[in-house]
Chain A
Amino acid sequence: QVHLQESGPGLVRPSETLSLTCSVSGYSIGSGYYWGWVRQSPGKGLEWIGSMYHAGNAFYNPSLKSRVTMSIDTSKNQFSLKLRSVTAADTAVYHCTRDDYGDLYYYDYWGQGTRVTVSS
């Protein structure tokens, strides 16, 4: 069974960088699929942030693209999200996902989610 688990600080100060990591078990992320992030905030509901392939190809939500960087570490079976210049609007529960882009086009596995609050 594929399992995803997010980790990272729960509190980030405004204008700083939010950094999260997703650890994957039950599947080698270098074997395929895209790996991504979706967040849920009270004001905007569920919002796709971006997805990345182990070979480096990445897609980002155009509304966040200028502030987002994703990376993958196949040796650790982890992938990461960095969101720069955060504001209160970035306060949300962040989920990592397995993204079946190119085949069935859905997110079939999700992490439990980690709550991130942006506040001074």
Chain B
Amino acid sequence: IVMTQSPDSLSVSLGERATVNCKSSQSVLFNFNNKYHLNWYQYKQGQPPKLIIYWASTRVSGVPDRFSGSGSGTDFTLTINSLQSEDVAIYYCQEYYTDLRTFGQGTKVEV
């Protein structure tokens, strides 16, 4: 399975919206729970990666609601509404469907 993110980087003004796309080369829908096993992580310089979205659209408790995940089939999106300075990071999607648990190549979000 290949996870392809786009763009590789984007620059967004403070308060504007950032959109990160992730495309999987095959479905990541688990039939047994009818969930897309697609996670999003935020990776800031000098910090460990942080899980922000799981099951493609479920936000982790404590994550600001300006972060949202959407998508179906093989196309998924992470949206950051009203970008804040603390959101500067590299964002990775990850499939937890195959035995490779592949990550996308990452999208660098800058202000």
Contact = CB atoms under 8 A, between A and B. Distances in A.
A92 B105 CA distance: 15
A112 B100 contact: no
B36 to A, nearest CB: 10
B50 interface: yes
Interface of A: 4, 38, 45-48, 59, 61-63, 95, 104-108, 110-113
Interface string B84-107: 000000001010100111111110
B76 interface: no
Interface residues of B, number: 22
Interface string B4-21: 000000000000000000
Contacts of B39: 105-107
A104 B59 CA distance: 12
Nearest to B94: A46
A111 B46 CA distance: 11
B49 interface: yes
